[in-house]
Amino acid sequence: MKITYDEKTGAMYIRLLEGKHQCHTVLLSDSIILNIGKNEKLVGIEILDAKQVLGKGKLPTVVLENLSLKSAGV
């Protein structure tokens, strides 16, 4: 999983599956878009204006729970 944020556009992307995927998009709202790949697998989530949608004006803290270093790929 990889999370990126573009300060210039305010967009956050949460990539759940690595590699290139042919996707179609599903709009959950004006700000949240799902990228769906082959076999209906969720490839990624795009959040527009992420600071407002997620953090009330600032980016939220990311907390990882119940992950060992081995399962995290480290």
Distance CA(49)–CA(31), nearest Å, equals 7
Whole-structure pTM value: 0.81
pLDDT band, very low/low/confident/very high, at 35 (cuts 50, 70, 90): very high
Beta-carbon contacts of 24 under 8 Å, excluding residues fewer than 6 positions away, are 35, 36
What pLDDT, on the 0 to 100 scale, is given for residue 37?
95
